[in-house]
Amino acid sequence: MRALAFAVCAALAPVCMGAQTFTWQPSAGHTQIPIWPGTAPDARPDAKPETAAKVERELVAGRPWVAVSDVSQPTMTVYSPTGNNTGAAVVVFPGGGYEILAIDLEGSEVCDWLASRGITCVLLKYRVPAPRSAPYWGAYPQSPMALEDAQRTMGLVRFHAAEWHIDPRKVGVLGFSAGGHLVAAISTHFEHRLYAPVDAADSESCRPDFAVALYPGHLWVDDNSFTLNPNVPVTGQTPPTFLLQAEDDHVDNVNDSLVYYIALKNAGVPVEMHLYAHGGHAFGMRRTEQPITEWPELVETWLHTIGVLAH
C-alpha cells in the first residue's frame, strides 16, 4: 500500500496530495543555504514555483509526510551534532522518484537522528523534477541536475570543514530510493565535475568517504538479465557502501541492491548488505512492526566497523 502510494505520488505529486500547498522550511534553528552563488548550471527556464504539501492518503507509521515538488533552487540545511561531535558528516538525499522529495520522512528526520549521534548532517534539497527522458528521466545522464547539486554540496561540506568542525576525511552520503541511486551516482562520478567550477569549494573532492543506499532504484536495468546500470561504473575507488532493501519492495526491485552489491564486491570495495523478506518501500526513519525499520542501528554499527565512528 505505502509502496504503491509513494510511486503514484512520485509521478503525480500535486494531484495525488489533495492537500493545501505551502513553502517548506526546516525546523527552528536551521536555515536553508543556497548551494549555488548564482544561477545553477543547466537551470530550466520554464521551472515552476516550488511547493510542498502534506501527504495524508497513505500514512507511514501512522503519520503523514511532506513532499516538496518543483525544486529549481537547490539548498542545503546543516544540522549540527547534539552532544559529542564525532567529526563525521553525512549528506542526505531524500527520495521521491526524481519528481518530488520526501523532505521529512527521508530527510529532516534522518538528520535529527544523525545529529543525536554526534554526526553533522547536511540535508540536500536537490533539483526536481528534471526534463523527461526515458528510461530514468530524472537520473544522470538523462538529467545532470541532481548529480551536479550533489557534487557541489560535497565540495561545500569539505570547504567548510574547519568552520563546521568536520573531519574532511569522514564525509559520507546517505539516500533513499531515487536518493539511493544518487548515492551510487556520486560514488561513481567524482573525478570530474559535471559543471564548470564556480569558486574554491569546487576544488575540493566530491568523492564520498562512505555511502549508504537504502532501497535504491535505477541500478538494475534489464528485466531479462542481471545487469547493472552502466551509468554507475563501479571501480576500486568507489567508497565503502552499506545497502538495505526489502524483498517485497514493489517500487524498486531487490535486484537493484543485488547487482550493485556484486559489482562492489567484484571491484574489491568493502560492502555490507541487508535484505529483509518484508518491509516494502518508503518507510524512511519511522519505526513500524517490520524489523527492517531497525536499520539505523545497523548503519551505526557499520560506521564503527569501517572506522568512521570510534569504538
> Looking at the domain covering 2-305, what would its CATH class be?
alpha beta
**Any idea where the domains of the chain sit in the sequence?**
2-305
User: If residue 59 lies in a helix (H) or strand (E), which one and from where to where?
Assistant: strand 51-60
- Tracing cell 569558486 back to the chain, one arrives at 199
pLDDT in tens, 265-301: 999 999 999 999 999 999 999 999 999 999 999 999 9
Is 87 a residue whose pLDDT tops 50?
A: yes
pLDDT in tens, 117-164: 999 999 999 999 876 765 667 788 888 999 999 999 999 999 999 999
Alpha helix ranges (H) inside the chain:
2-11, 13-17, 109-116, 145-159, 161-164, 178-188, 254-266, 295-305
User: pTM for the complete prediction?
Assistant: 0.93
pLDDT in tens, 171-187: 999 999 999 999 999 99
What is the pLDDT averaged over residues 204-221? 96
Collapsed DSSP state (helix, strand, coil) of residue 254: helix
**Percentage of residues in the chain with pLDDT exceeding 70?**
92
